[in-house]
Structure 1
Amino acid sequence: MTPNSSTERSVNPGPSRRTFLGSTAVAAVAVAGGVPLLSACGGGSESKDREGTTSGKNAAKLLPTFVASTFARPDISSKNGSAAGYTAKVDLSALSTSVKSRLGTGAPLKVMSPLWGTAPKADCAYYTQLDKAAGTRITWQNQDGNTYGEKLGAVLASSSIPDMVVVPSWELVGKISNAITAKFTDLGPYLAGDKVKKYPNLAAIPSDSWRMGIFGGALRGIPMPSAAATFNPAYYRKDIFDKKGYDVPKSATEFLSWAKEATSAKAKVYACADMSWTGFNIFGVRPSGSLGWHIEDDGKLTYRVEQPEYLEALEWTRKLFDAGVVHPDDKARSGDAGQRFTAGQVLMFNMDMSQWYVKTAEQAKSNPDFEMAAMDLFGPDGGDPTLWASQPATIWSLIRKGASKETVENALAAANFAAAPYGTKEFMLVNYGVEGTHYAVKDGTPVKSDQGNQEVINAWVMLSAPAPYFAHPDYPDIARKQVEWEQRQGSFMKNTSTYGMNIVEPTRWANLSSQFEQLEIDYVRGNKKLSDVQQAVSTWKSSGGDKLRDWYKKLIDKNGSGN
């Protein structure tokens, strides 16, 4: 019962950050002055009160009581931080009801959310039926996901903020982080402790995910949960590997040797696309952002760019480019690596978990021999990898400060409906729309119509989500493989010292690390020297990195370590 073109809803609710936003540079443009931003949040004691995080005992008293869902028990349980998996057929005629009565009063509610694609009409059948079922009356202010950061910054700087706003974690740069606490309401009076039981689907969201919704010492964000063992896999063409007799690489050296063997520039076949993400995983480099901070075994707190493995990973990826095994279009950063993968022009590429299902379904008719798999990650020498857990929530919906009690309760009613678990009528309506209008059931599996593909796109699903899961009734084996891959990788997973903390950095250092993404891109392509990267790390330290380290040290001492 997963939408035709999507996958693990709670991990990948929409397009990946890099696929559609390119980089944090989109939001950074606004912070740098391309769009006016919240000058009132740029200093003073009020701004400092919004910095930091809340965790441990202080966080516990802010969180909703967890009440596990009793609907549609997964066929494969979560393990090692993985999502759960549903592989059995679901009787669509006997679905459960998770929302027993309409919680909305029908009061008007304006919602701003990123949307990738063409927004449906305001009075379309999908929106109309969802409002009717949930008791809501939403006016959707959908914004282009590619430029959402610019719009978000402008809206938060204005005096007119929609009742509900969706904020992805990759937009939390510069003054936008501080704006969250200044512009959005404390949901504690509605959701803390047993109060959440009024909204059972929200109560079933894991506590770690709710903890990520704490901004400025108050519960403000309704989370979209994600699995800790969320990594961007290195996908390979299993059908071609089997035909050619290639062994899947099991060390950094083996990877380069295989890549040279598999590449034939004359035949226009290259081993891989840009494998930077895989390089970071192989060498154990921590994620960017606040998760990049970690207390080492010697007790020293360091950031990811200070890890020796950071340079080692970049050097390995550069070797791939230097060896000519990376497709020229990937070197030029043009076109779509996924399309080159399905066309057999590259035999391996890395992208988010959604691609396992999306590419398999896409190729089913036109290329029935197509088969893809995900390479198990390894350490540089072929030993066990060191992998770092992803945050348990990366997208939130927030309700504006000053909203009336009725507006808040209608927004929570909508979020509760959107968080309906797999195997319920509400899930079907949110993800598929209305049978006969937006989808038809074929061989027990819902298949969207053209109208469904046009109207049932990422709007309601951005408000909240159930605990992480994979489910593809048309390709149940893919769901099983996704869960099992996450479970295997998760067995080597560690938490950084900032895991599970939603941290608002001081604005004076908020863009300190923004230079590294482009520098990494340039270095692995041979456009920058190693000394350029080393100098950037030194500049980062002297320009505020060392002071930011002291700030993080005090924060961790106060709140405890995430690991």
Structure 2
Amino acid sequence: MPVSRRRFLGGGLAAAAVAVTGTPLLAGCASDKKGTAAANLAVKLPTYTRYGEIKPDLPGTDVVLDGFLKYPANPVKAISEAPGDGKPITFLTNIPGAIPPSVDKNQFWQKLNERLGSELQISMASNDEYKDKFATRIAGGDLPDVINIPVDTVQIPGLVKAKCMDLTEQLSGDAVNKYPFLANIPTEYWKGCVFNGAIYGVPVPRGMSRTSLPLYRADLLAAKGIKDPAPKNFQEFFDLAKEMTAAKQNKWAWTRVPLSTIRQMLAIPNVWKEDGGKFTSMYEHEAQLDALEAGRKMVAAGVVNPDAFNDKASARKQWFNGGIAAFDYDSFVAWNQYYSDNTAGPAFSVNMLDVPGFDSGTGAPWMGAALNNVTSFSKNSKHSADTLLKIANWMAAPFGTEEYLFRKYGVAGRHYTLQGTDPVPTKVGVVETGIGVQYISDSALALYWAGKPDVPQNQHEIQTKVAPRLVYDASYGLYSDTQSKKQTQLAKTMTDLENQIVQGKKPVSDWTAAVQTWKSSGGDTMRTELEQAHTEAAGK
């Protein structure tokens, strides 16, 4: 099984829509439930045709990502005609950074519009504010041509059936070959775009790039004489954390409690496990009490920054970059972002730990979320599906093409400078290119960092090491209406409790009763719906 994702559907957006509009999201637009899984399985997914013009220095597999030691000297000009139809195209999206300059003050955006052959009008919001903005626009019926749909949107099947284009005819099977860079997205990612027995969107793939493991400041560990950390069990992992902690100097090993890593040491499932058609939640696993006790032990020993329970992810990233913490649990995407945000100078170096078994042997790392989002097209758009798919295809041109170089880095001289063949972003480039077009569509991440070939080498090495042991979420591609509505709130309740437990404010034994409450509050219903969907999909 090539790729999966941690969690597909949640329930937070329904509450957001009610809060903003006073009405449930898409009331009356529920999709047909009977036989949905079987209907989805019957859809012929787009044929995967790997783009062969670019040769990676570090070849990947269907799981491990391709690595490049430098940007190709002569990028391939892969698309000859502008994909647009000359008319403005509207797009609603989140963006991970600061709001960029508007199009009239943004030379990257202006050049992009020229290349597309249509003016791209983008309505954007920060990551934190996007779901509210999305809910407001959906509830008001005010839809753009191109819609970034978060994967935890409540009741996606009803939403896309009511509001979005059915793209099955254009994308199913070999039809996708008209759009070669959409065809270059592995078939497994498309499972997350199938609803109501049809293809309703384009995937923005992540998968292995979102797999998270312990990142560490290799330069800080090397300064302590630790050149190649490889703890063989939890005790050695714990001892390493103690060695990297000096509270009096305002330095801690960890940005937060590494509970996910501990759970992977104990082979706790990645959200849902399926065995013989029966589904088990990670919350129910017998090793959860051991994981919580180990996390509590780390907090009690003072190896976790004491502000970990109060500050946001942005603060954790600052601690790691600033050397206040030596370890952070995050993904390959974050690994690159740390180099982008580096404030420690040229000595700054990041690497990643494998996961050992809790007592011995090897752990069971979790595969990252398959999709960042699903991109759908409004039924009411005045543009043809073909035009919008050509735009998405242009956005998915892979690493090594001229289109990718422009899309990610902008115009040479203004947005980046060349070091050899490597594009190095300027401050203006970072600001102006951050307009969110990677959420229309994207190619799979390439392992690469300009001017630092050791980064993709280290990334490729750890991916190759963990790939055979990756644990997948068994619920991927299956729809549970209860999970869609309740997962976000139920998960928050469990996370709040585990934070109380690891801080020593509540006993580990409280977890057992909480799991029973989780089951009666929706967990058991989710399980039943997932098992039913799994049975339908299997044709039993």
TM-score by length of 2: 0.89
**What code does the residue aligned with 1:306 have?**
E
User: What is the alpha-carbon distance in structure 1 between the residues aligned to residue 448 and residue 485 of structure 2?
Assistant: 43
Q: Is the 8 A contact 1:134 1:414 kept in 2?
A: yes
- Taking a change above 3 Å as real, the CA distance of residues 412 and 153 of structure 1, as seen in their structure-2 partners, is same
Aligned partners of 2:209 and 2:331 also within 8 Å: no
Partner Cα distance (2:455, 2:22) in 1 = 44
Question: Percent of pairs identical after alignment?
Answer: 27
Counterparts in 2 of 1:159-558, with a 5 A limit? 159-169=141-151, 171-172=152-153, 174-175=154-155, 178-228=158-208, 230-246=210-226, 247-274=229-256, 275-287=258-270, 292-296=271-275, 300-333=278-311, 336-360=315-339, 362-363=341-342, 366-404=344-382, 406-499=383-476, 501=477, 503-506=479-482, 509-510=486-487, 511-558=489-536
What is the aligned partner in structure 2 of residue 5 from structure 1? none
Say whether 1:36 aligns with 2:12.
no
How many Å separate the matches in 2 of 1:355 and 1:347?
Answer: 15
1:49 alignment partner in structure 2 = 32
* Counterpart position of 1:4: none
Q: Does 1:126 align with 2:108?
A: yes
Cα contact 1:214–1:502 (8 A) shared by 2: no
- Distance in 2, Cα, partners of 1:395 & 1:540: 27
CA deviation string 1:310-360 (max 9, x = no partner) = 332222112110111112222443672232223332222212223333334
CA change 1:494–1:175 in 2 (3 A) is closer
Task: Tell me if structure 1 keeps the 8 A contact 2:190–2:203.
Answer: yes
Q: Residue type of the partner of 1:272?
A: W
The alpha-carbon deviation at position 529 of structure 1 amounts to: 2.9
More off after superposition, 151-160 vs 501-510: 501-510
Please name the residue that 1:20 is paired with. Answer: none
One-letter identity of the residue aligned with 1:326: V
- Pairs within 5 Å for 1:27-106: 27=13, 29-30=15-16, 33-36=18-21, 39=24, 41-42=26-27, 47-49=30-32, 54=37, 58-59=40-41, 61-79=43-61, 81-91=63-73, 94-106=74-86
Structure 1: gaps (5+ residues): 1-9, 18-23
Shift of residue 474 of structure 1?
Answer: 1.5
Aligned-pair RMSD on alpha carbons?
A: 3.0
Q: Matched residues in 1 for 2:491 and 2:338: separation?
A: 34
Q: Encode CA deviations 1:244-267: one digit per residue, 9 max, x unaligned.
A: 234542211112233334333223
- In structure 1, distance between residues paired with 2:42 and 2:91: 29
Matched, 1:136 2:127: no
1:269 CA drift (Å): 2.4
Q: Is the contact between residue 230 and residue 486 of structure 1 (CA under 8 Å) also seen in structure 2?
A: no
| Pairing 1:15-30 to 2, within 5 Å after superposition | 27=13, 29-30=15-16
Q: CA deviation at 1:137?
A: 2.1
Q: CA contact under 8 A between 1:96 and 1:425: conserved in structure 2?
A: yes
- Opposite residue 264 of structure 2, the aligned amino acid is N
Contact 2:209 2:333 in 1 (8 A): no
Matched position secondary structure for 2:211: coil
Matches of 1:119 and 1:112, distance apart in 2: 15
- Partner SS for 1:451: helix
After superposing the two structures, state which structure 1 stretch, 317-326 or 463-472, moved more.
Answer: 463-472
In 2, Cα distance between the equivalents of 1:278 and 1:208? 26
AA in 2 matched with 1:340: W
Counterpart Cα distance in 1 of 2:242 and 2:428: 46
Q: Give per-residue Cα distances to partners, 1:70-102, cap 9 Å, x unaligned.
A: 2212222223722111114411xx321221222
| CA contact 2:417–2:425 (8 Å) conserved in 1 | yes
The count of residues paired between Structure 1 and Structure 2 equals 528
1:26 is displaced (CA, Å) by 6.6
Instruction: Point out the more displaced range, 389-398 or 332-341.
Output: 332-341
